[in-house]
Structure 1
């Protein structure tokens, strides 16, 4: 009875990619972020993405590929921090007596991140229309009045937002 030997070639390729380009990538990120810790974290996340994509082998321009992934992670980091800052400002504006517990705050923030990811790629007006409808509970007429657009445009934005959300959710694991 023979035991199958796992194919170690992809791991060797990832190992080689990491050894050859990790220092460069961390430096590249450090220049953009001005923070060594964030640069190290995002470099590591970049290689995790490469591992998950199983794309370490056969790269013609590995630095371009790594930079593309890292650039997206930098954008995600800034978006997350911006969202977190807005959340903390909204929380600070609330009376302390109605502040959610720390656990509830963490759950709410994670939900905000999920909504942000769900709406990513949607146009600003459609996203704003969706949020006013679904999060603030405004009617379509109220949204039209607030945004200074027609009711038909509100309907179009909501249809586009709903379609976008359905497509995104269909691609989730």
Structure 2
């Protein structure tokens, strides 16, 4: 009997040692790949600035960097897919897959937005995560994420800066050559 419990204890210790790495936390500094330039916001300050800008428009919205290193947005982020969208879903995008960040002016509601576009090399890089919604027939992937944020021009700059800090490169939209 003692031999069996000693073997079980040894196996439990080996399993615990093999699984001793804890998953990374939300907004982990492990995803900061570059240091901020002098005079620029740091990694955590930029995340808070984006989250605060979204919460100003809608207190139920949320922004964070997931434990896998994706930028995740919660709220009504894709209005073109918003028929039955619930706030239990998150839209996430890897910062290395972001091609450019556009400004979207809304002259009807006067709540402007920004849109993060996927790079051509990584189409459909935006994915919806969360609980299944059987009323929503929209696909769980997209080629962009749009979100309402205020002020939207500094919000765009903050998103571009965060992509830079996380090792991505935002390209400005320009004319074809």
TM range (shorter): under 0.3
Over alpha carbons, which structure has the higher Rg?
1
TM-score, scaled relative to structure 1: 0.25
Relative contact order (C-alpha < 8 Å, sep 6+): which is higher?
2
Give 1 or 2: higher helix fraction: 1
